[in-house]
Amino acid sequence: MSLKDIINPLSVWKHAAKEPWTIKNPLTERPGADNYRGFHQNNFDKCIGCGSCEEICQNAAIDMVPVEGQESKDGNSGLRPKIDYGRCCWCALCVDICPTGALTMSNEYTWISDNAEDFRFVPGSDKTKWQNNEKGYKRDEKIALIDFDRIDMGELHPENRDKSFIEIVKGYNKEQAMKEAERCLECGLCTATCPAHMDIPAYIAAIREDDIENAFRILYETNPLPEICGRICTHRCEDACALHHNGEALAIRWLKRYIADQIPPEKYAEVLGTEHLADDRLDKKVAIIGAGPSGLSAAYYLAVMGYQVKIFEALPNSGGMMRYGIPDYRLPYEQIDKDIDYILSLGVEVQFDTRIGIDITLEQLHADFDAVFAGTGLHLGRSTRIPGSEHARVYFATDLLREVTLGNEIDLAKKIVVIGGGNVAMDITRTLARLQNQAYGEVNVVATSLETEDIMPADREEIVEAREEKALIIPGWGPKEIEIENGQIKGLHAVKCLSVFDEAGSFSPKFDDNQKKFFEADMIVESIGQGMDLSYISDNLKAGLDFNARGRIKVNDGFQSDLKWLFVGGDIIQGPDVIHGIANGHIAANAIDKYLNGNKEKA
């Protein structure tokens, strides 16, 4: 033993004269460390009720419960986590998985109560002294359990697409799709938001399991147009995705497309189990007016139920605005046909080039069929009605897009102005830009809209891609007059739009007439919305229908009109978009089945 070993124990006596440090009340005078995992806090302004915390908790210490004042809405379930501290082990996985960062843990760790139920509470709702404590444990932004970055979708570069109508988006391969599917939290907020209420978490889980046939069957439970929807759906489900609050939403639309792309047409019947469906028909017949998304959806589900279904279509081919209003580079015709051909294989008939009200009356359909579903869409353009809009070189976007699909040559000026800021406006802008590039080797098309770019209704990618293809997008201007000189269009006079909607959210644009702009043009295209054509309904039948203030036919929850045999859906009722039409057709098919099997008054 060294001398140091003998002296060191004696050195502690130097503290004998010091006053001792005593924590008199350790429960109130000893705060936790700044990053301590104490009791939970929840910021209701951030919380979306996705339930990821409940899902990850291994101790079943979290239940999602309704809370007063928290309503369910798109992207928010209205439910909030309730913590059971008899089960909680303070692992903080619930905090780490929270996609919005709403759930945290304060550094408070003391809580005294004689009532055991007090230790089961809803942070953010049940008031506690630590609810707004800035100290405590939070999700580390650098180390996350969630992958917030989307797997990029490959697409053609602008220089490889601006003169052609080849499909732009390439689609996911297997590796990309499985990686993207791994990002899903399975919260179900997307399903609640989808008009068709597709079981999105289920078909994404099937992708992860590499069970594409099962994924395909899940799609067809609520959507018989997956190839189409996987390309041009408005994908509002992605706006509701929990991931988009701190990163990029799951690519739900592209994953749907991936599933549909993997199944060849000849295997549809085998995978879906409909090989012999067309061989056994019921004696009830249903007529459908219009081969657009709502009509095709209704036809599919009615055919699966065994009804005899016949579609009457005014145009030479099926698809409605999907074929005659959306360019080939976004939605190739062969993909439209892939979905539609399968529906027709189930025994559905289509009679083309037939206009109800002209070639056949609606009264005649009522006499020949047990029920009628009308899904005639919005094929009519709307005019600005500004001075000069009656000129022969002022066109509707819907008319031009239809002519392009039909393969007809259209009037193609060297300088064109498109009025409008929606997806149809972008579709015609990009279509005309391609045709100009093919014909003249240059692009001179301008799209202008009342809305500023931040509130333009067009999808963001449509605006970006239009610019990449050399079109000019100049938002925030209101059309005032088309200048005409010696019978020729010279351009469009516009003034600055200060606001589009009033405080109540109603359309009520305001302008600054002192800020003016002139767009040179030889031709003007109006794309400010579409209208419906109900001329096929005679005055006698209209007298038995009820209409709302917007001129739309009133229907019940089953899309049944006051004429009990007439069901109406699609863009003329809801929308306009494909997924609403699909959902309408599905609901109407079930209501028609109910109507034809007992209750003739109300379905």
pLDDT tens track for 198-214? 999 999 999 999 999 99
Tell me, what's the pLDDT at 190? Answer: 96
Upper half-sphere CA count for residue 383 (Cβ side, 13 Å): 11
pLDDT at 12: 67
Per-residue pLDDT at 107 exceeds 90: yes
Q: Tell me whether residue 218 is in a domain.
A: yes
Q: Write the pLDDT tens digit of every residue in 527-584.
A: 999 999 999 999 999 999 999 988 899 999 999 999 999 999 999 999 789 999 999 9
Q: What is the CATH number of the domain that holds 205?
A: 1.10.1060.10
Residue 109 lies in a domain: yes
Question: Which phi and psi angles does 118 have, rounded to 5°?
Answer: -60, -25
Look over the chain and give the mean of its residue pLDDT values, rounded to a whole number: 93
Question: CA distances (Å), 291 to each of 51, 307, 341, in order?
Answer: 40, 17, 12
CA distance 249 to 63: 25
> Which run of H or of E encompasses 434?
helix 423-440
The CATH number of whichever domain residue 359 belongs to comes to 3.50.50.60
pLDDT-derived band of residue 1, with 50, 70 and 90 as boundaries?
Answer: low
Cα–Cα nearest to 233, from 156, 378, 165, 335 = 335
User: pLDDT of 378-395, one tens digit each?
Assistant: 999 999 999 999 999 999
Same domain, 385 and 494: yes
Structural domain contains residue 311: yes
Q: What is the Cα–Cα distance from 80 to 266, expressed in whole angstroms?
A: 47
User: Could you say which of 530, 565, 585 is where a domain stops?
Assistant: 530
How far CA 500 is from CA of 117, 186, 230, 389, in Å, comes to 52, 38, 32, 21
- Same domain? For 544 and 513 the reply is no
The answer on 298 and 249 residing in a single domain is no
Other beta carbons within 10 Å of 362: 20
Those residues with Cβ within 8 angstroms of residue 593's Cβ, 6 or more apart along the chain or in another chain? 302, 305, 307
Q: CA–CA separation, 198 vs 200, rounded Å?
A: 5
DSSP string, 207-253: HHTT-HHHHHHHHHHH-S-HHHHHHH---HHHHH-GGGGTS----HH
pLDDT of residue 207: 98
Cβ within 8 Å of residue 266, ≥6 positions away? none
Q: How many domains does the chain have?
A: 4
Q: Mind listing the pLDDT tens digit for each residue in 118-137?
A: 999 999 998 888 988 999 99
Judge whether 433 lies within some domain: yes
Is the four-CA dihedral 405, 411, 417, 418 of positive or negative sign? Answer: negative
* Average pLDDT score over residue span 410-432: 97
Residue 293 has pLDDT above 90, yes or no: yes
Q: Give the SS3 label for residue 361.
A: coil
The torsion angles phi and psi of 495, rounded to 5 degrees, stand at: -125, 160
51: nearest Cα among 191, 179, 177:
191
- For 482, the 3-state DSSP assignment is strand
Q: Is residue 405 part of a domain?
A: yes
The domain in which residue 302 lies consists of 274-379+534-596
Confidence of residue 27 (pLDDT cuts 50, 70, 90): low
What are the distances in angstroms from CA 487 to CA 199, 388, 491?
57, 10, 12
Question: Mean of the pLDDT values across residues 440-467?
Answer: 95
User: Strand, helix or coil at 294?
Assistant: helix
Comparing C-alpha atoms, which of 484, 317, 505, 519 is closest to residue 387? 484
**514 and 389 share one domain:** yes
Tell me the pTM. Answer: 0.90
Residue 474: pLDDT band with limits 50, 70, 90: very high
Asked if 481 and 588 sit in the same domain, the reply is: no
More confident residue, 13 or 517: 517
Same-domain status, 384 and 341: no
- Does residue 186 sit in the same domain as residue 132? no
Q: Of 484, 513, 530, which marks where a domain is finished?
A: 530
**Residue 530 near residue 378 (C-beta atoms within 8 A):** yes
Q: Residue 45 has what pLDDT?
A: 93
Name the percent of the chain lying above pLDDT 70.
95
Q: At 228, which amino acid appears?
A: I
Question: For residue 59, what are the CA distances in angstroms to 67, 89, 347?
Answer: 22, 8, 53
CATH for 52: 3.30.70.3270
Torsion of CA 113, 119, 124, 125, to 10 degrees: -80
My answer on whether 198 and 255 are in the same domain is yes
Same domain, 188 and 233: yes
Q: Give the C-alpha separation, 564 to 28, whole Å.
A: 72
147 within some domain:
no
In a domain, 10, yes or no: no
What are the Cα distances from residue 305, in Å, to 292, 296, 581, 589?
A: 20, 14, 19, 9
pLDDT digits (tens, 9 = 90+) for 303-325: 999 999 999 999 999 999 999 99
Label residue 600 by pLDDT band (50, 70, 90): low
Same domain, 261 and 339: no
Does some domain include residue 547? yes
Distance CA 571, CA 550 (A): 13
Instruction: Check whether residue 256 and residue 315 sit in a common domain.
Output: no
pLDDT attached to residue 21? 66
Boundary-marking domain end, from 254, 270, 286: 270
* Residues 473, 455 share a domain: yes
